[in-house]
């Protein structure tokens, strides 16, 4: 039976599973696609926003560089190169520059031009005294004489320096200092140069400082001031870049307070640049120089190459172009394209023609912003998808139940037809045989004829009972049995039912004891239906009893209910069987039940009627020891 049932059901279940699984799979697929698209859409939206902001950054960078380029391009070629250098550095156009002439020769940082060598006998004698004879005092006198007699101011200045040197060597420091400071204060010496082309006066001042050594001396301060002023005065064309840088560095070493020379770094960088390999440069473009982290940009006519320190440049460009950018959960990085970066940027774009080797990148910070934005929509999709899947599943369950019920009903109908045909056939064939015998006049004996007629009547009665049960069952199936609810006395119901089976009880030799408590309350229900219940139960007791033919009926009231107990001492049944006997067509032992004239419907009819009356039925049984059926019916409410 169960194998047949599963065979009937599995295609249905398979189809149902497909009906759920296929749309569910489709919904899930659509959902994943939708979620992916949503994420892409949000990403695209963010990209558009960020791209707009980066375009603004590029515009501001273009402004920033066009100003610098204008500053480099608008330099008057006639302006002295040192002045140009200082101007561009001091106005922040570049961190340093190298200036070229039209032929590509370096104009700044410049070397001094060599001065005239000294070709004088007296000078050689003085040098002899100083260096060979180691007589600085006399050498000083000789140099003093040369200075006094010299027509050439350069020679006079050189002789004075030599005199001071010799005086210092001979222990006359103060005199030496006086010469270096007082004498050289005379403006006529201000542009004098030594044989290497260096200005004599600034060097003499430096020498004086070295001789004084005591920084608290007022003269010391005065010289420092004079020297500093001379060094920062870039209109002084006589001072070469080399000498200026040397003096600045020397002063920095010498003075404890470390004077600040705003152009010193620029000077050093320019010289480093000139000393390094010159890389080709394209005018108007920021390009790498051969010095690490230093960038160069040539003016359109290539006469000025601005030099830029990478770190400072990034700071400047950030202030100029990035300070207005506001991005939540993202930051913009402006850096050379080859610079090491932390992870893959969300968006990267070149900066433009002026900065071909640079890149603007957007990095996402904290929680992924587009994921967060997409999350909300995705949640909606998820819930919708879930709902659809649940609806599918719910519908499938409902359909499965409905189909299950239909299948069960069909099976019941088939069973019913089979049972009905079989059950009707047995009494009918008995009747036919008996009637045939009577017709053929084969039994002449009156008593035998009576016996046959009694048998025919019995089979007829059995047939009627069967048909009654089938009809009741059929009505039940169609749910058409309408019970008439009236006040019914339990005692009367029992009496009526006992009367109906009395003959059967007597003929089979049963001993029936009925014990009905006095003055039982009424129950409300359908009298005929309740009589049917008791008849069926007594009938079963008769059918399933063997030698011990006693039946006890007890009717009593407890806890607002009326109880009907039917106890027999028959064949009984197993515990397992007790759980199924109320199922339609269930019979513990089919051959025995058929022999007894049952069709497996009696107890299901009983249960149906009792349930319809709001009561309950249970059974207590043991194989071989008999069964007790307990029917409970609620009392009519007073």
| Contacting positions for ligand ADP (CB under 6 A) | 540-541, 543-544, 568, 570-573, 581, 586-589, 593, 598-604, 627
Cβ proximity to ligand ADP: between 490 and 600 the closer is 600
Cβ proximity to ligand ADP: between 433 and 512 the closer is 512
Considering the complex, state which of residue 355 and residue 603 has its C-beta at the smaller distance from ligand ADP.
603
Residue 9 beta carbon to ligand ADP: minimum distance, rounded to whole angstroms: 26
Which residue's CB is nearer to ligand ADP, number 463 or number 573?
A: 573
Q: How far is the CB of 527 from ligand ADP (least distance, A)?
A: 21
Q: From the CB of 569, what's the least distance to ligand ADP, in Å?
A: 10
Phi, psi of 294 (to 5 degrees): -125, 130
Which C-beta is closer to ligand ADP: that of 24 or that of 616? Answer: 616
DSSP 129: I
Q: How distant, in Å, are the alpha carbons of 13, 140, 404 from that of 516? A: 53, 161, 44
Q: Is 635 exposed, middle or buried (0-12, 13-18, 19+ CB in 10 A)?
A: middle
CB of 602: closest distance to ligand ADP in angstroms?
Answer: 3
Looking only at the bridges linking them, the beta strands covering 106-108 and 96-100 are antiparallel
d(CA 626, CA 622): 6
List beta partners, residue 98.
Answer: 305
313's enclosing H/E stretch is: helix 310-317
Closer to ligand ADP by Cβ: residue 525 or 570: 570
Residue 169 or 550 having the CB closest to ligand ADP = 550
Q: What is the DSSP string of 538-561?
A: HHHHHHT--S--EEEEEEEEETTE
For the CB of residue 592, give the shortest distance to ligand ADP in the complex, in Å. 7
CB-wise, 222 or 464, nearer to ligand ADP?
A: 464
Q: Among residues 289 and 532, whose Cβ is nearest to ligand ADP?
A: 532
Question: Which of these, 589, 602, 597, lies nearest to 629 by C-alpha position?
Answer: 602
Distance CA 189, CA 201 (A): 7
Distance (Å, whole) CA 452 – CA 434: 6
479 φ/ψ angles, rounded to the nearest 5 degrees = 60, 30
Q: How far is the CB of 582 from ligand ADP (least distance, A)?
A: 7
Tell me if the bond preceding 630 is cis, omega within 30° of 0.
Answer: no
Residue 358 CA to residue 308 CA, distance in Å, equals 14
Q: Residue 10: count other Cβ atoms within 10 Å of its Cβ.
A: 10
Closer to ligand ADP by Cβ: residue 261 or 544: 544
Nearest distance in Å: CB 428, ligand ADP: 18
Q: Which is nearer to ligand ADP, 452 or 564 (CB)?
A: 564
CB of 541 to ligand ADP, least distance (A): 5
Residues 6+ apart with CB under 8 A from 477: 412
Q: Say what angle helices 218-232 and 241-254 make with each other, to 10 degrees.
A: 150
CA pair distance 348, 57, nearest whole angstrom: 13
**Torsion angle of C-alpha atoms 70, 73, 79, 84, degrees rounded to 10:** 60
Start-to-end C-alpha separation, the chain = 49
CA nearest to 349, candidates 38, 37, 36, 59: 59
Report the residue closest to ligand ADP, judged by CB.
598
Task: Tell me the closest approach of the beta carbon of residue 589 to ligand ADP, in angstroms.
Answer: 6
Minimum separation from the CB atom of position 598 to ligand ADP (A): 2
Q: How far apart are CA 378 and CA 376, in angstroms?
A: 5
What's the order of all strands across the beta sheet hosting 294-298? 106-108, 96-100, 304-309, 294-298, 287-288
CB 584 within 8 A of CB 412: yes
Smallest separation, CB 579 to ligand ADP (Å):
11
Q: Which is nearer to ligand ADP, 303 or 627 (CB)?
A: 627
Q: Which residue number, 123 or 544, has a Cβ lying nearer to ligand ADP?
A: 544
303 or 536, CB closer to ligand ADP? 536
Whole-angstrom CA distances from 197 to 110, 113, 150, 192 are 12, 5, 19, 9
Closest CB to ligand ADP among residues 194, 568: 568
Shortest spacing between CB 577 and ligand ADP, in angstroms:
7
Least gap, CB of 413 to ligand ADP (angstroms)? 18
Q: How far is the CB of 439 from ligand ADP (least distance, A)?
A: 32
- Residue 25 has phi, psi (to 5 degrees) of -60, -45
Buried b or exposed e, range 461-477, using 16+ CB within 10 angstroms: ebbebbeebbebbeebe
CB of 498 to ligand ADP, least distance (A): 16
Q: How far is the CB of 24 from ligand ADP (least distance, A)?
A: 44
Closer of 68 and 607 to ligand ADP (Cβ): 607
b/e map 238-261, b = 16+ CB within 10 Å: bbbbbbbbbbbeebeeeeeeebeb
């Amino acid at each position: 039976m169960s194998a047949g049932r599963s065979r009937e059901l599995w295609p249905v279940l398979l189809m149902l599973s497909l009906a759920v699984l296929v749309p569910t799979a489709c919904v899930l697929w659509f959902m994943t696609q939708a979620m992916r698209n949503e994420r892409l859409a949000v990403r695209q939206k963010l990209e558009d926003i960020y791209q707009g902001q980066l375009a603004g950054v590029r515009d501001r960078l273009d402004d920033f560089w066009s100003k610098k380029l204008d500053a480099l391009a608008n330099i008057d070629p006639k302006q002295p190169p040192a002045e140009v250098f200082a101007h561009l550095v001091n106005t922040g156009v570049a961190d340093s520059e190298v200036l070229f002439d039209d032929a590509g020769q370096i104009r700044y940082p410049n070397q001094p031009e060599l001065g005239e060598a000294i070709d004088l006998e007296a000078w050689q004698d003085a040098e002899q005294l100083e260096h060979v004879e180691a007589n600085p005092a006399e050498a000083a006198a000789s140099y003093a004489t040369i200075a006094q007699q010299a027509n050439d101011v350069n020679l006079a200045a050189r002789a004075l320096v030599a005199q001071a040197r010799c005086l210092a060597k001979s222990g006359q420091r103060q005199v030496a200092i006086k010469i270096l400071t007082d004498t050289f204060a005379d403006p006529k010496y201000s542009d004098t140069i030594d044989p290497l082309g260096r200005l004599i006066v600034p060097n003499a001042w430096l020498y004086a400082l070295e001789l004084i050594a005591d920084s608290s001396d007022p003269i010391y301060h005065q010289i420092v001031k004079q020297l500093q002023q001379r060094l920062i005065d870039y209109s002084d064309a006589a001072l070469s870049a080399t000498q200026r840088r040397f003096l600045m560095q020397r002063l920095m070493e010498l003075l404890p307070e470390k004077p600040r020379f705003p152009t010193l770094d620029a000077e050093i960088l320019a010289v480093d640049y000139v000393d390094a390999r010159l890389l080709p440069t394209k005018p108007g473009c920021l390009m790498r120089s051969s010095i690490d982290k230093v960038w160069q940009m040539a003016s359109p006519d290539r006469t000025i190459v601005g030099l830029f320190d990478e770190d400072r440049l990034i700071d400047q460009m950030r202030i100029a172009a990035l300070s207005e950018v506001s991005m939540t959960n993202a930051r913009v990085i402006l850096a050379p394209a080859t610079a090491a970066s932390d992870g893959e940027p969300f968006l990267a774009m070149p900066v433009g023609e002026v900065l071909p080797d640079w890149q603007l990148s957007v990095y996402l910070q904290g929680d992924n912003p587009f994921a967060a934005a997409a999350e909300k929509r995705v949640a909606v999709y998820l819930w919708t998808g879930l709902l659809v899947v649940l609806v599918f599943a719910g519908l499938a369950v409902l359909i499965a139940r409905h189909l299950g019920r239909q299948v069960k009903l069909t099976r019941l109908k088939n069973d019913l037809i089979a049972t009905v045909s079989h059950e009707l056939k047995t009494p009918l064939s008995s009747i036919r045989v008996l009637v045939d015998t009577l017709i053929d006049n084969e039994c002449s004996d009156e008593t035998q004829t009576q016996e046959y007629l009694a048998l025919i009547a019995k089979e007829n009665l059995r047939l009627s009972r069967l048909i009654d049960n089938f009809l009741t069952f059929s009505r039940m199936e169609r749910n058409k049995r309408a019970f008439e609810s009236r006040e019914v006395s339990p005692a009367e119901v029992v009496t009526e039912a006992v009367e109906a089976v009395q003959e059967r009880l007597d003929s089979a030799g049963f001993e029936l004891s009925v014990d009905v408590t006095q003055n039982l309350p009424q129950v409300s229900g359908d009298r005929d239906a309740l009589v049917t219940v008791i008849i069926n139960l007594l009938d079963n007791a008769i059918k399933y009893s063997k030698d011990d033919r006693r039946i006890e009926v007890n009717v009593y009231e407890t806890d607002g209910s009326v109880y009907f107990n039917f106890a027999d001492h028959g064949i009984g049944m197993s515990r397992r069987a007790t759980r199924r006997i109320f199922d339609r067509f269930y019979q513990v032992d089919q051959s025995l039940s058929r022999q007894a004239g049952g069709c497996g419907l009696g107890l299901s009819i009983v249960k149906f009627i009792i349930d319809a009356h709001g009561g309950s039925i249970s059974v207590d049984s043991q194989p071989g020891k008999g069964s007790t059926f307990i029917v409970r019916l609620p009392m009519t409410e007073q």
